[in-house]
Amino acid sequence: MTDIVSIRGLSISAVIGAYDWERGVEQELIFSVDMAADVAAAARSDDLGDALNYASVAETVSEVVRGGKFQLIETAAVRVAERLLAEYGIGWVRVEVVKPRPAEGFAAAITIERSA
């Protein structure tokens, strides 16, 4: 059995994009993250100390993205996945990044999966 811990709709303003005009502005990115984590200990104890801390994961995602100033959402997704796998003891992660493009009438998105 695999338990999945998720964060949905994490909105982060960051420098992202390959075009010159994008390098001087922040744009919204929306992240959804699914992580394979054994929740049995947390369920038994009902103690936050035994759980994967959602707030900490969200903070880590924000830190990676804001600090990276990536050109591509693909790079942002991979860097987030690498960091979460390294820091949280999870065996698998799925990261979705959505970059809304309202002026163009669409949103660009990528979803990746990585394992430890």
Whether residue 69 lies in the annotated active site:
no
The tokens of 39 are what?
Answer: 């929740």
Closest residue by Cα to residue 14 from 54, 81, 72: 72
Beta strand ranges found along the chain (DSSP E): 4-14, 27-36, 92-101, 106-115
**Partners of residue 110 on adjacent β-strands:** 97
Catalytic hit among 99, 101, 103, 109: 99
- Decide if 84 contacts 7 (C-beta within 8 A): no
- Decide if 99 contacts 106 (C-beta within 8 A): no
The catalytic residue positions are 99
